């Protein structure tokens, strides 16, 4: 199955967050959403990536964007990881790999998600797909570049209201 491309509609996500709250991607329609997939909580690169999204969260939020992390770990692992890393955004467990399959980021032999980040625009379409297995920094940098581009292409009234 081919990778999702820029312009494709983002597949729906209905799940529970690390703290047990319901999450529906369609409920965020009208604002940009950053969905980053990572292979495994508590591993070195995944921890660095999560910390980078945590540390740049306020900057990302200035664009009106919501950050969501997804891995194929179990719910209790996501909860522990979120607490240990003090994340202020939802982490979603995907132990049955449904979300990873829907987003076409599942490693076939490993049964884990690849390190892929999607920026979803206000209309629910994929605006960017960032895939670097070992460079967490490229993911955050790519997200900020895409959010800047999306912000510049919005009508002034929408851009101003998203930052209010």
Dihedral angle sign, alpha carbons of residues 115, 136, 69, 162: negative
How far is Cα 151 from Cα 148, in angstroms, rounded to an integer? 5
Round the CA-based radius of gyration of the chain to a whole number and report it. Answer: 15
Q: State the catalytic residues.
A: 46
Q: By the 8 A CB rule, do 100 and 124 touch?
A: no
How far is Cα 119 from Cα 44, in angstroms, rounded to an integer? 23
């Amino acid at each position: 199955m081919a990778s999702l491309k820029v312009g494709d509609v983002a597949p729906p996500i209905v799940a529970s967050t690390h703290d047990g709250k319901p999450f529906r991607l369609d409920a965020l329609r009208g604002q940009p959403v950053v969905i980053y997939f990572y292979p495994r909580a508590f591993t070195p690169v995944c921890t660095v990536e999560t910390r980078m999204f945590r540390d740049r969260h306020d900057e990302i939020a200035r664009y009106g964007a919501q950050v969501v992390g997804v891995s194929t770990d179990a719910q209790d692992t996501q909860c522990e990881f979120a607490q240990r890393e003090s994340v202020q955004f939802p982490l979603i467990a995907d132990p049955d790999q449904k979300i990873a399959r829907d987003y076409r980021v599942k490693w076939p032999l490993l049964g884990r998600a690849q390190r892929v980040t999607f920026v979803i625009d206000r209309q629910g379409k994929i605006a960017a797909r960032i895939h670097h297995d070992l460079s967490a920094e490229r993911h955050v940098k790519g997200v900020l570049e895409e959010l800047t581009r999306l912000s510049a292409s919005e009508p002034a009234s929408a851009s101003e209201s998203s930052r209010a």
